[in-house]
């Protein structure tokens, strides 16, 4: 080996690092992806051929190694604290924090304002990076703050995390910050993922958290993760600067991305000002934030203030309200759901809120419309929190509106009244899809189309459900095709699916011969089912996947379920009077019996009695979970959705029937009860791991 080689390797590393930095830190790629790959491969080849040239900070190591069985535990030398949340989203939220700090420090009213450093609160996953003699040796998640997971391989694939510190590095430095995804990166990633037929990532936060927790580092590598440093953990042989602001500057000098949106602020008013400024900027930021963070700037004062139950007294997260925007209601329409539920929806003038352009917002139900008195032509405030469906918060009436922008062409076309508004909205009396009567459920807020399976909207909904992955699992039978099949009159009931021929399908618009054949094969394949799936696929009201599973297990045979009386049904775990009645009503309907008979005649089958033993359709099928406390990354709804997506059930209270308790921070009596009953307790990471490993084991 000669010096030329050594120099070439060094040059390749330097160039790759420069291109990386240009791409990630300055958002200005200096080289095409293909050229980058070529340099990368050249370096990889040289290192493979001359192992003595290998170096722990080589960019090639960002590929990560092989997949792990499970993550090793990391005990944080300095615990990773959480942060107190100020839920008062107004300016007064900053006052509360400032007043608390002043009180703790026993400052007189006349004392000078406290100096703070204000930062953004990034919405990703907290990680800790350990550098020994300047080289990244370990990366860990926060976990419960005391113990995290060793995710070194995954973090090494994050291209803006330095593998080696720039400048003179101390013997030990732990850097803490947030792994996150930019919205545009996520969108680009999702586009490609969907083109490959993969599932898109739900949102940047889940995307970041999910990627860091992948056991296979090549998956993390394929995800566009980034990093912002905002603090430190253990340090040896380095004199800390005097302030947090200087600390951030030092981290930037070591080569870490530190977010530019940060400011020194003296006193509460300056904090509130930062909160307001960043609030105004929020929608334009390329990444999600859910608030700002205030930290006492002096590290000496931080030490004096100390901690209270794992939260520093010197920092607070000041949140933002869910993003809202003002727009106009162009029309109010109703949607008919799978079960015939009629949901009023406001069609809006497109408005950008919460990172997306919103054109529809739910008005929930008749009572909500009446309470909010939303009418066509009204100016309204819409809100979008996280991934939830946008909703209309309230109407802005002329008197509290600064500018009169209420005239839209569509509203002007309608006869208006004295106050300039349209008359109160009334739900239609008949279903817009099939003209059947619309009935309001006794005691409920929900209004339903009584048309049942004569209503095309309900037929389509029923078919989509029937074909879905956890039901009959008919690949390629999505919304679009169902729509075509019903509209063309080819399919009226699920049983009709089994009479379709490839030539019939191929006659449909945009359906090639090959894909028609594939669909027919997928339909054929679905005939081999299980009782639990079949019961679930029927779409009996109030019978979800878990209940279907319980019913299959209890009855073992479809006939036994079909003929069961209420009393027998009530013996099934978790079946109460409402569910029992839904089941009885379903089987009492002649049409439903006919469809079932046709399905069986068409060859849909399973092994009778198999329901009691067969493998669950979801990894958590039949399992009941209780969530308690605050989870580190998942919101409660999200955790619940994940559990349900895996076939489990999330219940509100701990009992002997509970299979797992998922505990986060400040878990209270439910956790005590779980311990008392000896129920397994998992943290969020363990929950996600359980879901991920089991998901990936599936064919």
Contacting residues toward ligand IVH, per CB under 6 A: 81-83, 119, 121-122, 126, 178, 230-231, 293, 312, 315
- Cα–Cα distance for residue pair 20/7, rounded to 1 Å: 20
Could you tell me if 555 and 609 are in contact, meaning their C-beta atoms sit under 8 angstroms apart?
A: no
Is residue 121 part of the annotated active site? The answer reads yes
Least spacing, CB of residue 200 vs ligand IVH, in Å = 24
Per-residue burial over 297-322, b if 16 or more Cβ lie within 10 Å, else e, is: bbbebbeebeeeebbbbbbbbbbeeb
Report phi then psi at 175, rounded to 5. Answer: -110, 135
Is 258 or 569 the residue whose CB approaches ligand IVH more closely? 258
Kindly give the residue spans of alpha helices, DSSP state H, lying in 196-282: 204-212, 217-222, 244-253, 267-281
- Cα–Cα distance for residue pair 376/94, rounded to 1 Å: 39
Strand 315-319 versus strand 172-181 pairing type: unpaired
Chain center to CA of 617: 22
| Residues recorded for the chain | 699
Kindly give the residue spans of alpha helices, DSSP state H, lying in 110-241: 152-156, 183-195, 204-212, 217-222
Token pair in block for residue 542: 């109030």
Is 520 or 663 the residue whose CB approaches ligand IVH more closely? 663
- Cα–Cα distance for residue pair 124/130, rounded to 1 Å: 19
Could you tell me if 470 and 533 are in contact, meaning their C-beta atoms sit under 8 angstroms apart?
A: yes
Distances (CA, A) of 455 to 320, 340, 432, 583: 43, 8, 9, 20
Is 124 or 456 the residue whose CB approaches ligand IVH more closely? 124
Least spacing, CB of residue 169 vs ligand IVH, in Å = 23
- Cα–Cα distance for residue pair 608/535, rounded to 1 Å: 13
Token pair in block for residue 280: 């105004």
The single residue listed with the structure tokens 């680009």 is 188
Is 82 or 154 the residue whose CB approaches ligand IVH more closely? 82
Work out the widest C-alpha separation in the chain, in whole angstroms: 91
- Nearest residue to 235 via CA among 126, 127, 132: 132
Token pair in block for residue 223: 């995800």
- The DSSP secondary-structure symbol of 318 reads E
- Cα–Cα distance for residue pair 243/302, rounded to 1 Å: 9
Is 76 or 649 the residue whose CB approaches ligand IVH more closely? 76
Least spacing, CB of residue 259 vs ligand IVH, in Å = 8
Least spacing, CB of residue 81 vs ligand IVH, in Å = 4
Is 231 or 390 the residue whose CB approaches ligand IVH more closely? 231
- Nearest residue to 139 via CA among 182, 177, 180: 177
Per-residue burial over 235-258, b if 16 or more Cβ lie within 10 Å, else e, is: beeeeeeebbbebbebbbebbbbb
Kindly give the residue spans of alpha helices, DSSP state H, lying in 526-576: 531-537, 545-555, 558-562, 566-569
Residues 6+ apart with CB under 8 A from 608: 531, 556, 557, 558
In the sheet with 263-266, reading across from the earlier edge strand, the strands are 85-86, 315-319, 289-296, 115-122, 263-266
- Cα–Cα distance for residue pair 699/696, rounded to 1 Å: 8
Is 306 or 420 the residue whose CB approaches ligand IVH more closely? 306
Q: Which residues pair with 383 in a beta bridge?
A: 324, 391
Token pair in block for residue 512: 């090639």
Annotated catalytic residue within 121, 221, 328, 649: 121
Is 39 or 83 the residue whose CB approaches ligand IVH more closely? 83
Q: Strands, E, within 601-648: which ranges? A: 624-628
- Cα–Cα distance for residue pair 511/504, rounded to 1 Å: 10
Least spacing, CB of residue 82 vs ligand IVH, in Å = 4
Could you tell me if 464 and 483 are in contact, meaning their C-beta atoms sit under 8 angstroms apart?
A: no
- Helix H or strand E encompassing 172: strand 172-181
Is 68 or 83 the residue whose CB approaches ligand IVH more closely? 83
Least spacing, CB of residue 180 vs ligand IVH, in Å = 9
Least spacing, CB of residue 695 vs ligand IVH, in Å = 24
Is 296 or 342 the residue whose CB approaches ligand IVH more closely? 296
Could you tell me if 530 and 558 are in contact, meaning their C-beta atoms sit under 8 angstroms apart?
A: no
Least spacing, CB of residue 304 vs ligand IVH, in Å = 15
Is 13 or 226 the residue whose CB approaches ligand IVH more closely? 226
Is 83 or 395 the residue whose CB approaches ligand IVH more closely? 83
Q: By beta-carbon distance, which residue lies closest to ligand IVH? A: 126
Which residues are part of the catalytic machinery? 121
């Amino acid at each position: 080996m000669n010096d030329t080689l050594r120099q070439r390797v060094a040059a390749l590393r330097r160039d790759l690092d420069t291109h990386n930095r240009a791409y990630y830190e300055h958002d200005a790629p200096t080289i095409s992806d293909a050229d980058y790959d070529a340099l990368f491969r050249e370096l990889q080849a040289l290192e493979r051929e001359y192992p003595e040239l290998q170096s722990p900070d080589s960019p090639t190591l960002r590929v990560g190694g092989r997949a792990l069985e499970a993550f090793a535990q990391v005990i944080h030398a300095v615990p990773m604290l959480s942060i107190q949340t100020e839920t008062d989203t107004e300016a007064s939220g900053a006052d509360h924090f400032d007043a608390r700090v002043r009180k703790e420090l026993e400052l007189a009213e006349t004392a000078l304002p406290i100096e703070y450093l204000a930062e953004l609160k990034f919405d990703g996953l907290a990680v800790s990076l350990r550098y020994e003699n300047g080289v990244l040796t370990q990366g860990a998640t926060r976990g419960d703050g005391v113990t995290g997971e060793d995710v070194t391989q995954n973090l090494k694939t994050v291209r803006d995390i330095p593998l080696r510190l720039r400048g003179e590095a101390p013997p030990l430095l732990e850097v803490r910050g947030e792994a996150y995804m930019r919205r545009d990166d996520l969108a680009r990633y999702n586009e490609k993922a969907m083109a490959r037929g993969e599932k898109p990532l739900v949102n940047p936060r889940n995307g970041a958290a999910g990627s860091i927790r992948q056991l296979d580092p090549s998956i993390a590598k394929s995800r566009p993760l980034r990093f912002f440093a905002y603090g430190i953990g253990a340090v040896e042989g380095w004199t800390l600067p005097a302030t947090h602001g200087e600390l951030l500057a030092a981290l930037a000098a070591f080569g870490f991305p530190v977010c530019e949106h940060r400011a020194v602020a003296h006193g509460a008013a300056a904090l509130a000002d930062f909160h307001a400024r960043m609030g105004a900027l929020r929608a334009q930021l390329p990444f999600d934030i859910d608030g700002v963070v205030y930290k006492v700037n002096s590290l000496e004062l931080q030490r004096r203030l100390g901690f209270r139950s794992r939260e520093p007294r010197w920092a607070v997260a000041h949140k933002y309200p869910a993003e809202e925007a003002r727009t106009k209601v162009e029309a109010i329409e109703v949607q008919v759901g799978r079960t015939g539920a009629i949901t009023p929806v406001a069609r809006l003038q497109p408005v950008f809120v919460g990172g997306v352009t919103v054109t529809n917002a739910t008005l929930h139900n008749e009572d909500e419309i009446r309470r909010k008195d939303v009418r066509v032509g009204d100016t309204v405030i819409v809100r979008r929190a996280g991934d939830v469906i946008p909703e209309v918060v309230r109407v802005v009436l002329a008197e509290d509106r600064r500018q009169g922008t209420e005239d839209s062409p569509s509203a002007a076309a309608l006869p208006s009244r004295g106050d300039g508004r349209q008359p109160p909205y009334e739900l239609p009396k008949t279903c817009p899809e099939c003209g059947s009567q619309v009935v309001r459920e006794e005691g409920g807020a929900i209004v339903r189309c009584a048309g049942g399976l004569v209503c095309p909207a309900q037929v389509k909904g029923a078919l989509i459900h029937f074909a879905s992955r956890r039901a009959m699992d008919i690949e390629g039978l999505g919304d679009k095709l169902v729509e075509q099949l019903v509209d063309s009159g080819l399919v009226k009931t699920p049983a009709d699916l089994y009479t379709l021929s490839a030539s019939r399908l191929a006659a449909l618009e945009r359906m090639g011969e090959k894909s028609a054949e594939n669909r027919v094969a997928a339909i054929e394949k679905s005939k081999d089912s299980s009782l639990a799936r079949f019961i679930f696929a029927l779409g009996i009201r109030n019978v979800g996947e878990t209940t279907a599973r319980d019913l299959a297990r209890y009855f073992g045979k479809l006939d036994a379920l079909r003929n069961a009386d209420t009393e027998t049904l009530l013996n099934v775990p978790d079946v109460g009077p409402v569910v029992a009645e839904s089941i009885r009503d379903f089987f009492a309907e002649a049409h439903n019996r006919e469809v079932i008979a046709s399905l069986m005649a068409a060859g849909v089958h399973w092994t009778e009695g198999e329901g009691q033993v067969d493998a669950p359709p979801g990894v958590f099928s039949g399992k009941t979970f209780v969530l308690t406390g605050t989870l580190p990354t998942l919101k409660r709804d999200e955790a619940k959705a994940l559990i349900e997506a895996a076939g489990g059930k999330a219940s509100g209270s701990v009992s002997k029937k509970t299979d797992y308790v998922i505990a986060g921070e400040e878990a209270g009596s439910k956790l005590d009860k779980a311990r008392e009953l000896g129920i397994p307790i998992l943290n969020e990471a363990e929950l996600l791991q359980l879901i991920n490993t089991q998901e990936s084991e599936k064919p």
